[in-house]
Amino acid sequence: MHAVPATGKAGQMASTVTRYMNRFIDSIEWIAAFFIGVVALDVFFTVLLRYFFGFTIPDAYDFGMLMLGIVIFWGIAATSYRGTHITVDLLWANVSPRWQRAIDVFATLVLLFVVVVQTYTLFDKTISTRDANLQTFELRLPVWPFYLIAWIGDVAAVLLIVVRTYRLIFHPDLMARDHAVAARPVE
C-alpha cells in the first residue's frame, strides 16, 4: 500500500514536512547516542582513575546514576519511533497485513498514553526535586537539571510516538521504509 505522491505545491510541502520530520527523528537518535557515549566515557575514566591511579572523581557515582537516568529516557525516545524495542509478536506475525497495521496503531496509541503519563510524572518529579534543592553528595551540584534533561528526552519520546502514530495511520509506506532501514544488517 503506497501513497501516490502529490504534485505541485502540496507535494512540495509534504516533502518538506517529511524531510523536517526525518531530521528531527535523526537528531533525537544522535542525542541519545551522545548520552550513551558520555556514560561510557564516565565509566571508563572512573574505573581507570580508581584502579590505576587511586583517584576517585568527585560525585562520580551520583553523576553516573543521573546520566543513566538520562540515557534511559532518551533511549525510550530513540526506540519508540522505530519500534526497535523488545516486542512479542506472536499474534501479529499470524494475521493479515491489514490486522498487523491495526495492531501496530493500537499498540502505538497504548505506548503514547503510557509515555504521556510518564512524562507528566517525571515533570512533577523534576519540579519537586528543584523545590527540595536536592544536591549531589560531594560537589553539591543541583540534581534537578539532570532530571530536566531526562524529562526533555521523555517529551521527545512523546513527539516521536505522535509522529509514528500519524505515519502509521496516514503514511504507512514511510513506516515500511523506515522499518526496512532499521532491519538492515550492519556490515
Each domain of the chain, given as residue ranges in start order, spans: 8-183
Q: Contact at 8 Å (CB) between 182 and 84?
A: yes
Give me the pLDDT at residue 122, please: 96
Give me the pLDDT at residue 53, please: 92
**Ramachandran class of 4: left when φ > 0, alpha when ψ lies in -120 to 50, beta otherwise:** beta
DSSP sequence for 102-122: HHHHHHHHHHHHHHHHHHHHH
Give me the pLDDT at residue 184, please: 47
Maximum C-alpha span of the chain: 67
Q: Which of 180, 84, 66 is nearest to 134 (CA)?
A: 66
Q: How many helices (H) and strands (E) would you count in the chain?
A: 5, 0
The model's pTM is 0.81
Interatomic CA distance for residues 69 and 107, integer angstroms: 25
Give pLDDT tens digits along the chain (187 positions). 444 455 567 667 777 888 888 888 889 989 999 999 999 999 999 999 999 999 988 999 899 999 999 999 998 888 888 766 666 678 888 889 888 888 889 989 999 999 999 999 999 999 999 999 999 999 999 999 999 999 999 999 999 999 999 989 988 887 765 554 444 444 4
Interatomic CA distance for residues 4 and 17, integer angstroms: 16
